[in-house]
Amino acid sequence: MQLSFTKMHGLGNDFVVLDCRQRPMPLSTQDIRALGHRHTGIGFDQLLSIENAAEHDDCRYAYGIWNRDGEAVGQCGNGVRCVAAWLHREGLLDLDETVRLRSPSGPVTVRLIDALTAAVDMGEPQFEPGAIPFDTPQRAERYPIELDDASLSVGVVSMGNPHAVVEVDDLHAPSLERLGPQLTAHPRFSEGCNAGFATVLDMAHIRLRVHERGSGWTQACGTGACAAMAVLHAQGRVGREVEVRLPGGPLQIAWNGPGHTLWMTGPAAFVFEGKCTLPE
């Protein structure tokens, strides 16, 4: 089977994008893992499928998301910006137009600011443990988590996918290399989580590294940036508008608190078009 694809990225968080408007997404879990391999495949953090929305839906298009390990996930902030840029390049989305797209976790509102920059309504952060899901007897701002050789204090939130946020002094501490994978796979997160390690620079600036479930350390994580801002804002550590500086570059996050949705603004980039042949 020959497959046409577009390689894209948002701040280094990279994707293979498939046009699935005319047929269902054709890849198995094994196919996705093979294509995602950095040395023997195309290489990506996530695979995105662009699909037609259901006829009764009020969304214009839908998209699917799969991590490099082949597992489907609910949301990807950098990915939705790439979807919007791809739709614009195909003549399906105008500049300054606001549209609703159907993500695996529900509708998302997107506004394309220019051909390669999008603002995305990421919905209201969900702090209820059952919505994440996270195992705890009661809700709190911070929770103690025991890892193999460390105790952490974490904030938890869902941005359509589960996140744990840990405030740290040094994002380059060697210990994070082992703590990230341990936190991602912690049994109190029944579906795993994306582990974000954040340093607050001031009320309007955060530095962040994210270890994503199914993908590992990434250059950028859009939902992780939203989660870090939401958790730290709820704790009174940052204000309503924050620049989140990831290894791949900055994202702008704005949230007015409970009862309001959170907006993320950032870039998308095209890398190349390609074709590959999968074994039958």
Is residue 221 annotated as part of the catalytic site, yes or no?
yes
d(CA 217, CA 194): 10
Count of alpha carbons within 13 angstroms of residue 48, beta-carbon side: 30
CA angle, residues 143, 247, 69, in degrees to nearest 5:
70
Do 135 and 143 contact (CB within 8 A), yes or no? no
The percent of the chain in helix, strand and coil, each rounded to the nearest 5, is: 15, 40, 40
78 annotated to bind ligand: yes
Catalytic pick from 20, 82, 193, 221? 221
Instruction: Record the tokens describing residue 11, joined without a space.
Output: 């701040």
Confirm whether residue 29 is marked as ligand binding: no
52 is in an annotated binding site: no
Q: Any binding-site annotation on 23?
A: no
Is residue 76 annotated as a catalytic residue, yes or no? yes
> Residue 223, annotated ligand binder?
yes
- 256 in a labelled binding site: no
DSSP secondary structure code for residue 53 in this structure: P
- Cα–Cα distance measured from residue 81 to residue 85, given in angstroms and rounded to the nearest whole number: 6
State yes or no: 161 annotated in a binding site: yes
**Which position among 20, 76, 82, 226 bears the catalytic label?**
76
Show binding-site residues: 13, 46, 67, 77-78, 161, 194, 212-213, 222-223
Catalytically active residues, by annotation: 76, 221
Show binding-site residues for substrate: 13, 46, 67, 77-78, 161, 194, 212-213, 222-223
